[in-house]
């Protein structure tokens, strides 16, 4: 199915930032995509408009009860100048799973992908080509009924904004390096039956206090433990977590409390392609710490759209620090990073059909 979106060009395009100094998520392009949903009408009036502030009622339900969701994806520039997306249909599917949990309307996968492609195409000259850069794409939906009753809204707005971005962790500027990760033993991120698997702002608002604690001890991000026993490893603040132990690579199972990462799924697929045992199973923080002490923990890394593959060099748990892989980037982490970014930027073959070209 093909979709038509109106385009209002920005009369005041901005100068492009220096790709070598880009950080994550602070500079926005000239345009954005907007589309409305009304009961009985469905999604309608998809349009590309100049990037700018939006007007919203102060009574809008998203501002009070956080009925919203977001997605995260990236557009990449290839060496021969094309722009492409990585598995955008997976973001569309996850969006609909989140929306089902949040009482928000479903969206045709094709419509989602067409909207993202249209706005990325409009601002294609904003896709940077320096190493460790890409155009971060942030689709999101807000409920904007002006009413204070706690109930699902009837009117929603879908938007896509774009930002040329550098590495998520400043440590990865110019080269892949390791992060310091704080294991949170007090607060929890998600419990069974909650919204842990959904990509909603509330999950992140609730994580900020733990991030603050992590930064106080010079850590880059938080590793969450399960809500019941504070024992099993779940995910890192902005990504999924993997542990390489002897000949097995372990990540937490998708049991409702962790985000079903698209990079996570890609990592599992690549590992299995390479004949490496990749297990989705519970693993306790005590086992991870014991393995770090004994040397059995060969590598650990986080995987995510923003984080890509971010190797962990230190785990800090209950005030003690455990070094992983001598704080160096492990061979498997590097290989996964090179393969995933190689596929994304067209440098290496895409055997699974993960790439969709935009221009």
| Total number of residues that touch ligand COI (CB under 6 A) | 6
**Rounded to an integer, what distance in angstroms lies between the CA atom of residue 107 and that of residue 96?**
7
Cβ closest to ligand COI, residue 145 vs residue 345: 345
* By the rule CB under 6 A, 240 interacts with ligand COI: no
Minimum CB–partner distance for residue 70 and ligand COI (Å): 7
**Rounded to an integer, what distance in angstroms lies between the CA atom of residue 303 and that of residue 336?**
10
Query: Which residue has its beta carbon closest to ligand COI?
Result: 72
Beta strands at 179-183 and 308-317: parallel, antiparallel or unpaired: parallel
Minimum CB–partner distance for residue 140 and ligand COI (Å): 10
**Rounded to an integer, what distance in angstroms lies between the CA atom of residue 138 and that of residue 123?**
14
* By the rule CB under 6 A, 46 interacts with ligand COI: no
Minimum CB–partner distance for residue 38 and ligand COI (Å): 28
User: Can you tell me which of 91, 240, 305, 345 binds ligand COI, judged by CB under 6 A?
Assistant: 305
* By the rule CB under 6 A, 72 interacts with ligand COI: yes
Beta strands at 239-245 and 248-251: parallel, antiparallel or unpaired: antiparallel
Cβ closest to ligand COI, residue 107 vs residue 306: 306
Minimum CB–partner distance for residue 96 and ligand COI (Å): 17
**Rounded to an integer, what distance in angstroms lies between the CA atom of residue 318 and that of residue 295?**
20
Minimum CB–partner distance for residue 7 and ligand COI (Å): 26
User: Can you tell me which of 96, 98, 195, 238 binds ligand COI, judged by CB under 6 A?
Assistant: 238
* By the rule CB under 6 A, 341 interacts with ligand COI: no
**Rounded to an integer, what distance in angstroms lies between the CA atom of residue 359 and that of residue 356?**
10
Structure tokens at 120: 């990325």
Question: Pattern 268-287, binding to ligand COI, x per CB under 6 A?
Answer: --------------------
DSSP state of 20: G
Is the distance from CB of 181 to CB of 219 less than 8 angstroms?
A: yes
* By the rule CB under 6 A, 344 interacts with ligand COI: no
Cβ closest to ligand COI, residue 72 vs residue 166: 72
* By the rule CB under 6 A, 207 interacts with ligand COI: no
Cβ closest to ligand COI, residue 245 vs residue 355: 355
* By the rule CB under 6 A, 167 interacts with ligand COI: no
* By the rule CB under 6 A, 85 interacts with ligand COI: no
User: Can you tell me which of 166, 167, 304, 313 binds ligand COI, judged by CB under 6 A?
Assistant: 304
User: Can you tell me which of 34, 161, 292, 306 binds ligand COI, judged by CB under 6 A?
Assistant: 306
Q: Which residues contact 48 (CB under 8 A, 6 or more apart)?
A: 5, 6, 7, 8, 31, 32, 33, 118, 119, 122
Q: DSSP 3-state assignment of 98?
A: helix
Give the helix/strand (H/E) hosting 357.
Answer: strand 355-357
Question: Pattern 321-340, binding to ligand COI, x per CB under 6 A?
Answer: --------------------
Question: Rounded to whole angstroms, what are the CA distances from 204 to 74, 189, 196, 256?
Answer: 20, 8, 10, 16
Q: What is 287-341 written as a DSSP string?
A: HHHHHHHHT-EEEEEEEETTTEEEEEEEEEETTEEEESGGGS--HHHHHHHHHHH
Question: Pattern 113-152, binding to ligand COI, x per CB under 6 A?
Answer: ----------------------------------------
User: Could you give phi then psi for residue 122, rounded to 5 degrees?
Assistant: -60, -40
State the residues that interact with ligand COI by CB under 6 A.
72, 204, 238, 304-306
């Amino acid at each position: 199915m093909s979709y038509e979106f109106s385009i209002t060009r920005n009369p005041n395009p901005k100068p492009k930032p220096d790709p070598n100094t880009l950080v994550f998520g602070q500079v926005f392009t000239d345009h954005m995509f907007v589309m409305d949903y009304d009961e009985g009408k469905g999604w309608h009036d998809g349009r590309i408009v100049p990037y700018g502030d939006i007007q919203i009622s102060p009574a809008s339900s998203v501002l009070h009860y956080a009925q919203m969701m977001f997605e995260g994806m990236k557009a990449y520039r290839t060496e021969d100048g094309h722009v492409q997306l990585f598995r955008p249909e997976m973001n569309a599917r996850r969006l609909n799973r989140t929306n089902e949990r949040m009482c928000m309307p479903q969206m045709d996968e094709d419509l989602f992908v067409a909207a993202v492609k249209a706005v990325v195409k409009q601002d294609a000259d904003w896709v940077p080509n320096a190493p460790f850069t890409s155009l971060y794409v942030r689709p999101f939906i807000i409920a904007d009924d002006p009413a204070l009753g706690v109930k699902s809204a009837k009117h929603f707005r879908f938007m896509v904004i774009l930002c040329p971005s550098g590495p998520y962790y400043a440590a990865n500027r110019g080269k892949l390096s390791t992060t310091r990760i704080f294991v949170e033993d007090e607060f929890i991120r998600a419990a069974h039956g909650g919204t842990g698997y959904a990509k909603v702002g509330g999950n992140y608002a609730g994580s900020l206090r733990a991030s603050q604690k992590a930064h106080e001890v010079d850590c880059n991000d938080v590793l969450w433990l399960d809500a019941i026993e504070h024992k099993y490893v779940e995910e890192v603040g902005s990504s999924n977590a993997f542990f390489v132990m002897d000949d097995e690579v372990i990540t937490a199972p998708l049991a409702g409390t962790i985000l079903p990462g698209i990079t996570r799924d890609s990592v599992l697929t690549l590992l299995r392609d390479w004949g490496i045992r990749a297990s989705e199973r519970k693993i306790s923080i005590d086992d991870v710490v014991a393995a770090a002490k004994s040397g059995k923990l060969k590598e650990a890394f986080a995987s995510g759209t923003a984080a890509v593959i971010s190797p962990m060099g230190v785990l800090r748990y209950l005030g003690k620090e455990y070094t992983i892989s001598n704080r160096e980037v492990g061979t498997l982490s590097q290989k996964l990073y090179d393969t995933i970014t190689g596929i994304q930027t067209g440098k290496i073959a895409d055997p699974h059909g993960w790439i969709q070209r935009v221009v």
